[in-house]
Amino acid sequence: MAFMFSMGITVPRTAYMLEAGEPVIYQFVSINHINRRLLAATIAHEDEQLGTRSGAFDLGEFQARAQAYFRGQPDPSGSTIPQQLVKNIFLWDDQSAVRKGIEAVLATQFSYTVSPQRTLELYLNYAQFGPRLYGVCAASWYYFGTPPWNMSDYQSAQLMGVLPLPDLVRRDPHGGIYLGEGVHPAVWDLVNGAANVWVPRQIAGLGGWQAAVATVGITDTAESHADGRGDSDACSTMPQSVKDRIQSRAG
């Protein structure tokens, strides 16, 4: 299965999308057309060792997570990007030991078959950024009215704060992520914390956004691929599914 993804094949629906049910808002975008600062924010917030670690996770951290789980204690570290990716593609929303064991096996296979750069591309295409809203192509247009290659540093960092609780996040009627009256306190904390503290701090610790993306083998910019913005995988225009969602919420 991992070999299929390493060959550039993508699937139109993941297990998580199917479990959520239609309508799903999603459109694939090539990593060539994703702002490098957004890639850096993802590495910094989700998995700093994605491009430098051997395997899908650090064995010591994995053992600590397993011990915490069986003791009923909070997760001390959280899942790596390969672990989150295989969960999104193949598995189901469950915290059981069986599901976590399958996840570990699949993530290990992925880490030795699929490059860190391709893993990051798939993760950003399949991650959930709102109720039935998946991938940065849909998310960048839905929240900010812009393609993923044009995302600002602040917008990129805000999106990272959406990842832990995407079903609770809403679009502001005037654009942006809604953080006004009545917003869930955890959403307010996560989005503002990611944008104003965690992501900038972690990127600085990695030596800046250029150094962060270099860890997964990226040394160019999205502007280097500007000639391809007419391609179907460039996400240069708002997907129809995003237009439909915005219109339905405006009525």
What are the DSSP calls for 35-93, one per residue?
-HHHHHHHHHHH-TTTTT-SSSS-HHHHHHHHHHHHTTPPPSS---HHHHHHHHHH--S
Which position has the token pair 């993306």?
Answer: 213
Sign of the Cα pseudo-torsion (109, 110, 111, 113, in order): positive
Reported as a pLDDT band with limits 50, 70 and 90, residue 251 is very low
* Nearest C-alpha neighbor of 52 from the set 207, 217, 210: 217
Q: How far is CA 171 from the centre of its chain?
A: 17
Helix, strand, coil share (%) of the chain residues, nearest 5: 60, 5, 40
Q: Say which residue, 71 or 91, is predicted with more confidence.
A: 91
Give the mean pLDDT of 109-125. Answer: 95
Reported as a pLDDT band with limits 50, 70 and 90, residue 63 is low
Q: What is the dihedral of CA 43, 9, 79, 158, to 10 degrees?
A: 40
Token pair belonging to 127: 């991650």
**Whole-Å CA distances, 8 to 3, 109, 113, 115, 210:** 9, 16, 12, 11, 25
CB 128 within 8 A of CB 120: no
Give the mean pLDDT of 171-193. Answer: 97
SS3 113: helix
Q: Give the pLDDT confidence score for residue 78 in this predicted structure.
A: 74
In the predicted model, is pLDDT for residue 8 greater than 90?
no
- What is the rounded average pLDDT for all residues in the chain? 90
* Nearest C-alpha neighbor of 222 from the set 41, 29, 35: 35
Q: Give the pLDDT confidence score for residue 71 in this predicted structure.
A: 55
In the predicted model, is pLDDT for residue 184 greater than 80?
yes
Q: Give the pLDDT confidence score for residue 196 in this predicted structure.
A: 98
CB 119 within 8 A of CB 57: no
Reported as a pLDDT band with limits 50, 70 and 90, residue 76 is very low
In the predicted model, is pLDDT for residue 186 greater than 70?
yes
Q: Give the pLDDT confidence score for residue 62 in this predicted structure.
A: 55
Report the alpha-carbon distance of residue 114 to residue 118 in Å, rounded: 6
SS3 102: helix
Among residues of the chain, what percentage have pLDDT more than 70?
88
SS3 9: coil
CB 136 within 8 A of CB 176: no
Reported as a pLDDT band with limits 50, 70 and 90, residue 46 is very high
In the predicted model, is pLDDT for residue 85 greater than 70?
yes
pLDDT digits (tens, 9 = 90+) for 204-238: 999 999 999 999 999 999 999 999 999 999 999 99
Sign of the Cα pseudo-torsion (98, 168, 248, 173, in order): negative
In the predicted model, is pLDDT for residue 15 greater than 70?
yes
Reported as a pLDDT band with limits 50, 70 and 90, residue 183 is very high
Report the alpha-carbon distance of residue 94 to residue 78 in Å, rounded: 15
* Nearest C-alpha neighbor of 20 from the set 125, 82, 93, 96: 93
Q: Give the pLDDT confidence score for residue 59 in this predicted structure.
A: 60
